[in-house]
Chain A
């Protein structure tokens, strides 16, 4: 009994050793074929399911393996910064929030040039998507693609049509130039309050310095409508001396702080976080706001009454009556230089930006994220010709209309301007410190110049 036992043990361990010897090259091989990916969690469960499907499709098509983690974007943002700082990263990262980390790491030469990946679909991208991901590298002293763009978003107007009508106005009367559109809502405040809505405001003007991007987005909306689009040019230069830019900045600060002082926006708007503005909109605290994506509407998709009472509107004309571009935030996947499997990482991203793959993936998000391929709106009626009332105006603004990238793509200096909330601080200079808008603008310019001095672009 004993002998048999021992013999079988020996045989067993021999077998294990043999298996180990055989398995080792296989494991090495598997490692060579595996890429680790950190992806931002979707807004609806379908988005995550769709990502998993995309991964499964890729694994089947390529024989490679994708080892992914789907992370809430706040957690992902922190992990990504820690990982890049400490040099222990996954092979691909895609982050949904503000792209500060991407541009700073491209600047510091910590990312892989993915121009060859982008090249596979170069002709199909919007120019904004390409501009947004062609980033400056300080070490190489040139621009290259450091992210593979695959989705984007912008800010439409969100209006409670039932409140507009309750106040005695018609939706069809909403003006089609920028300031006039905002002004149109002001008198509704008194009319609605007279009907017992004690707390209602005309609009939710996001002057916050708390949300990562809401405050900056609203500033840029006004800036562009006031003709200040040339604040930062694609060469990464800032143009504070340009009288047209300066005038636009002052006009913007003036309009926003005046509306605040006249109480047309909830006082809390100066410290709203990401969720507060949506909470406010859903509680009908204000009639209208200008806020990123159509998530506000999609959150009510199971409440048809509210879903239909809310109206999504694209951009009006600028104050000079000319069409204005939307500032579009583009999201891409990027590959750190320290990644262990750059080959598979690149191959995976090539798959992600195949238009048909991308279309299938993004449709699951119900249009909260917009594709970066305009041709998809022609091949698939989902984007512009569906029954959904909110999607088409949003897609038109973001994808088929004129657009520009977020300025931070032109220079990491502007990423720091946004992260420091310089514009939000300039409003505070007016409403809190009693400066004139001109003085507040000058103060902001001084800080911006100091920041730009740290990031020289030849």
Chain B
């Protein structure tokens, strides 16, 4: 392409640049409205002094933080153990994340780095786990937890989540590990490092972005689900916040403002986790699907 042609088209570029710039801003505004659309009413209900959800105004006439105060002081009977249950949610979330990362990284290390032949069988096994919709295994899972003696135990929920998240973890980690030169492992092994040393000193540090991404995924899955926590946990001491939220649906009548305040407080940890790790999220989730 000749230089003359390029310069001739330059003004056109600038005009087009302005047009796309405006388009981008407009799209940005649309995205903000789209993303906040359903969250806005949650905040409004939580700020409302009344427990109605159907006020016809767009903004509550006398906004108040009273509902949030009720939640943090455990001032409503559904919420009487809120902080304990919040801690339970953390326990489930962190245990799920830790176990997912441990199992996922060990398995992907064997398949991807140690190149165990027949390793593809393991990764296919993992993929097959996806086929099973959670609602299918819910009832059998309940029974099996009773057999294991984990009825009404936080560990039953953790086990369910780990079973669902490890396949994804293996998948992503294995794909990500392709970007790490295998020669690193090889030279370490020639220097006499055991597989365990390669795993802890080379694999884990270099995999950090993917580990953070997968960990966040596992945490959010554990945080978002409610069916399993609902089904498997029953006593007030063992409930998580997700079950407490569902409890508001228990009766045909509930203080929705307290529910939404609880939901908003419950949303804070995953949001913080995401923002803290967002750099890793984008670099860790490539899944190796892109050549390069």
B142 touches A274 (CB 8 A): no
A74 touches B139 (CB 8 A): no
Who on chain B is nearest to A277 by CB? Answer: B252
B235 touches A69 (CB 8 A): yes
B143 touches A86 (CB 8 A): yes
Interface segment, one of A23-31, A55-63, A75-83, A226-234: A75-83
A75 touches B251 (CB 8 A): no
Q: A75-B246, A86-B143, A88-B143 are in contact. Are A299 and B231 (CB under 8 A)?
A: no
Q: Is A15 an interface residue (CB 8 A)?
A: no
Who on chain A is nearest to B141 by CB? Answer: A82
Q: A78-B230, A283-B54 are in contact. List 10 more A-B contacts (CB 8 A).
A: A74-B230, A74-B250, A75-B243, A78-B231, A82-B142, A88-B146, A274-B252, A279-B52, A295-B251, A298-B253
Chain A residues near B253 (CB, 8 Å)? Answer: 43, 275, 278, 295-296, 298-299
A230 to B289, CA, bound (A): 67
List of 7 A-B pairs having minimum Cβ-Cβ separation, nearest first: A86-B143, A45-B77, A72-B250, A299-B253, A283-B54, A88-B146, A82-B142
Most buried by B among A38, A82, A88, A278: A82
Selected A-B contacts with CB under 8 Å, 17 pairs: A43-B253, A44-B77, A48-B77, A69-B234, A74-B246, A75-B246, A75-B250, A82-B142, A82-B231, A274-B252, A275-B249, A275-B253, A278-B252, A279-B52, A279-B53, A283-B54, A295-B253
A82 to B235, CA, bound (A): 17
Chain A residues near B224 (CB, 8 Å)? Answer: none
Chain B residues near A75 (CB, 8 Å)? Answer: 230-231, 234, 243, 246-247, 250
A86 touches B142 (CB 8 A): yes
A41 to B254, CA, bound (A): 14
The 8 A CB mask of B227-256 against A (1 = contact, 0 = none) is: 000110011100000010011011111100
The 8 A CB mask of B67-86 against A (1 = contact, 0 = none) is: 00000000001000000000
Who on chain A is nearest to B249 by CB? Answer: A74
The 8 A CB mask of A70-105 against B (1 = contact, 0 = none) is: 111111001101110110100000000000000000
A282 touches B52 (CB 8 A): yes
Q: Is A207 an interface residue (CB 8 A)?
A: no
Chain A residues near B230 (CB, 8 Å)? Answer: 74-75, 78
Most buried by B among A38, A280, A283, A285: A283
Chain A residues near B138 (CB, 8 Å)? Answer: 82
A73 touches B250 (CB 8 A): yes
Chain A residues near B54 (CB, 8 Å)? Answer: 279-280, 282-283, 285
Who on chain B is nearest to A70 by CB? Answer: B236
A75 to B139, CA, bound (A): 13
Chain B residues near A43 (CB, 8 Å)? Answer: 251, 253
Q: How far is the CB of A47 from chain B (nearest CB, A)?
A: 10
Q: How far is the CB of A247 from chain B (nearest CB, A)?
A: 33
A88 to B141, CA, bound (A): 13
Chain A residues near B236 (CB, 8 Å)? Answer: 70
B246 touches A82 (CB 8 A): no
The interface on chain A, measured as residues whose beta carbon lies within 8 A of the other chain's beta carbons, has a size of 35
Please pick, from A82, A275, A277, the residue contacting B254 in the complex, using a CB distance under 8 A. A275
A79 touches B231 (CB 8 A): yes
Who on chain A is nearest to B229 by CB? Answer: A75
Who on chain A is nearest to B250 by CB? Answer: A72
Chain A residues near B247 (CB, 8 Å)? Answer: 41, 72, 75
Chain B residues near A282 (CB, 8 Å)? Answer: 52, 54
A278 to B251, CA, bound (A): 10
A71 touches B234 (CB 8 A): yes
A299 to B253, CA, bound (A): 7
Interface positions, chain A 33-69, Cβ under 8 Å from B, are 38, 41, 43-45, 48, 69
Please pick, from A82, A296, A298, the residue contacting B139 in the complex, using a CB distance under 8 A. A82
A295 touches B250 (CB 8 A): no
The 8 A CB mask of B185-215 against A (1 = contact, 0 = none) is: 0000000000000000000000000000000
A285 to B54, CA, bound (A): 9
A10 to B86, CA, bound (A): 43
Most buried by A among B152, B235, B236, B250: B250
Who on chain B is nearest to A198 by CB? Answer: B56
Who on chain B is nearest to A85 by CB? Answer: B139
Interface positions, chain A 271-328, Cβ under 8 Å from B, are 274-275, 277-280, 282-283, 285, 295-296, 298-299
Chain B residues near A78 (CB, 8 Å)? Answer: 230-231
A73 to B234, CA, bound (A): 11
Q: How far is the CB of A67 from chain B (nearest CB, A)?
A: 10
Most buried by B among A199, A296, A299: A299
Q: How far is the CB of B135 from chain A (nearest CB, A)?
A: 11
A295 to B252, CA, bound (A): 8
Interface positions, chain B 78-120, Cβ under 8 Å from A, are none
Chain B residues near A283 (CB, 8 Å)? Answer: 52, 54-55
A88 to B54, CA, bound (A): 43
Q: How far is the CB of B61 from chain A (nearest CB, A)?
A: 15
Chain A residues near B55 (CB, 8 Å)? Answer: 283
A85 to B146, CA, bound (A): 13
Chain B residues near A86 (CB, 8 Å)? Answer: 139, 142-143, 146
A275 touches B252 (CB 8 A): yes
Who on chain B is nearest to A82 by CB? Answer: B142
The 8 A CB mask of B21-60 against A (1 = contact, 0 = none) is: 0000000000000000000000000000000111110000
Chain A residues near B56 (CB, 8 Å)? Answer: 199
Who on chain A is nearest to B243 by CB? Answer: A75
Q: How far is the CB of A88 from chain B (nearest CB, A)?
A: 4
Who on chain B is nearest to A280 by CB? Answer: B54
Q: How far is the CB of A286 from chain B (nearest CB, A)?
A: 12
Interface positions, chain B 160-177, Cβ under 8 Å from A, are none
Who on chain B is nearest to A368 by CB? Answer: B251
Who on chain B is nearest to A291 by CB? Answer: B252
